[in-house]
Amino acid sequence: MKKGLISVLSSVISILIGLIFGLLLLLAVNPAQAFPKFGEMLVAGFSSSAKFAKVLYQAAPLIMTGLSVAFAFKTGLFNIGASGQYTVGAFCALACGIIFQMPWWVCLLASIVAGAIWGFFPGLFKSLFNVNEVITSIMFNWIGMMLVNLLCMNLKNAAGKNVMLPTAWVSSPIKDRTAALSYANPKAMIPKMGLDKLLDSNFMNISIFIAIIVAVIMWVILNRTTFGYELKACGFNKNASIYAGINAKRNIVLSMVIAGALAGLGGGIYYLAGTAEYTIQKLLLPMGFNGISVALLATSNPIGTIFSALFISYIQVGGESLQPVFAKEMIDIIIAVIIYLSAFALLTKTVISRFVHLDKSNVNAEPALTVSPKTDEKPTLKESEGEKA
């Protein structure tokens, strides 16, 4: 059995156990409503084209933050700072659109650059001073969020009005969120290309395709280029990669820069949809943290990220239908249980492969050593199998 299939199977098992746990919790809280609401939650994402559009709309930034975390994981780094990179990326995209009146693709480039800068510092501190990137990126989450809030509140145009807020554009008392792109700069909205009419939802635009293309590019970089190979080598064993002549310090910084750029782009595509405004609040945005779930569920595979982001987005849309009887945080519990189970994915995988290969006792044998009996080719290390070990 292919290792990829086993990974998928172990994720599916985690998901099933997580859902069962969620059902039990619903039963414990309110037995009468548990089954109907749980059923409603499971089908909500497909119940109407508008709901489905919302699944896709939320999946796009999730894919990006998931890729961000997954890419860093491949280099042995834990990018818990996706939230801050996402926020900074969102701000720069919006600022580019609202203040400088740029078209949408320039705004997206701005979000990439901003996210990359926010990922650069944790990477730099890790490689130069060996400061734990988890701590640094948590600090940068808070610094980024507060800085963005400050800028939103204080950037003024020539007339002395807060240019990021609605007050500069229309007469509006709202002071806690940025101006809507629909009147500030419609050009900065990501094109819909008729998808909104197709699914009958204003949420729909091409961002999901952008995200999928980026995911494929990331897969190619990681699996088909020397650069990707070097990054993964650093993740497996830093000392061995240094011994092999790989510049580990440079790769750590680059990996974090790319991870930051991905999360920043996520912020860009979410807020340039024109359906949500950045709200000034004291909490870190959850999108970056959900990216961690996405990456873990996908076992850091860029292609897997697409599916796990769709899944997480799907049950989150389903979670809205749990309200008001249950808190929508029930969904977060389900996701947390799934992630907890996938933490010992290795164990699950071993159990599955034992179950499947009852005849072969040693499932942990090196894949490189298995010689195909029919051909007399030399045994070669299959990269795609080696990486999942």
Partner 1 sequence: MIVLADVISSTIVFAVPLLLVAMGGMFSERSGIINIALEGIMIIGALMGCLMMRWLDPLVMNGQLGPQLAMLIATLFAGACGVVFSVLLAFASINLKADQTIGGTALNMLAPALAIVLTWVVQGQGQTTILIPTWSRITEANFGLTLEKGSFIQALLFKNFYLTTILTVVLFAAAVILMYKTKFGLRLRSCGEHPQAAASVGINVFKMRYAGVLISGFLGGIGGLAFTLAAGSGFQSSVAGYGFLALAVMIFGNWKPWSILGASLFFALFKVIGAYASSIPFMPKFKELEGVSSYLWPMLPYIITMILLVLTSKKSRAPKAEGIPYDKGMR
- HSE toward the beta carbon, residue 92, CA cutoff 13 A: 26
CB of 137 to partner 1, least distance (A): 10
d(CA 32, CA 263): 41
Segment 199 to 258, residues that bind partner 1, using CB under 8 A: none
| 187-195, 287-295, 308-316, 370-378 -> range binding partner 1 (CB under 8 A) | 287-295
Residue closer to partner 1 (CB basis): 109 or 363: 363
The single residue among 50, 347, 365, 371 that binds partner 1, judged by CB under 8 A, is 347
Extract the tokens encoding 173: 């008392």
Q: At which residue do the structure tokens 């979670």 appear?
A: 319
The pair of structure tokens assigned to 34 is 């548990």
Site string for partner 1, 10-39 (x = CB under 8 A): ---------------x---x----------
Does 164 sit near partner 1 (CB under 8 A)?
A: no
Using alpha carbons only, what angle is made at residue 132 by residues 129 and 133, rounded to the nearest 5 degrees?
A: 100
Q: Is 138 in the site for partner 1 (CB under 8 A)?
A: yes
Using the minimum distance from each CB to partner 1, give the nearer residue, 170 or 327. 327
Contacting partner 1 within 77-136 (CB under 8 A) = 78, 80, 125, 129-132, 134-136
By CB under 8 A, name the one of 31, 282, 372, 380 that touches partner 1: 282
140 neighbors 123 (Cβ within 8 angstroms): no
- Residue from the set 333, 351, 356, 363 that interacts with partner 1 by CB under 8 A: 333
H-state helical runs in 48-103 = 49-74, 82-98
Q: Which residues contact 296 (CB under 8 A, 6 or more apart)?
A: 69, 339, 342, 343
Q: How far is the CB of 173 from partner 1 (least distance, A)?
A: 15
* Buried b / exposed e along 284-305 (16+ C-beta atoms within 10 A): bbebbbbbbbbbbbbbbbbebb
Is residue 351 part of the contact set for partner 1 (CB under 8 A)?
no
Size of the site for partner 1 (CB under 8 A): 50
Q: Which is nearer to partner 1, 269 or 296 (CB)?
A: 296
The span from the CA of 81 to the CA of 68, in Å, is 9
Partners of 177 in the β-ladder: 279
Q: Which of 346, 368, 371, 389 binds partner 1 (CB under 8 A)?
A: 346
Return the closest-CA partner of residue 26 out of 37, 15, 16. Answer: 37
Q: Name the one range near partner 1 by CB under 8 A: 54-62, 203-211, 236-244, 337-345.
A: 337-345
* Listed ranges 59-67, 219-227, 235-243, 333-341: which one lies at the site for partner 1 (CB under 8 A): 333-341
Residue 78, Cβ density class (10 Å: 0-12 exposed, 13-18 middle, ≥19 buried): middle
Backbone angles phi, psi at 152, to 5 degrees: -60, -35
- Minimum Å gap between C-beta 182 and partner 1 is 25
Helix, strand, coil abundance in the chain, percent, nearest 5: 70, 0, 30
Task: Give the residue, chosen from 35, 243, 344, 355, that forms a contact with partner 1 under the rule CB under 8 A.
Answer: 344
Interaction site with partner 1 (CB under 8 A): 25, 29, 78, 80, 125, 129-132, 134-136, 138-140, 142-143, 146-147, 149-150, 153-154, 280, 282-284, 289, 292-293, 296, 324-327, 329-333, 335-337, 339-340, 342-344, 346-347
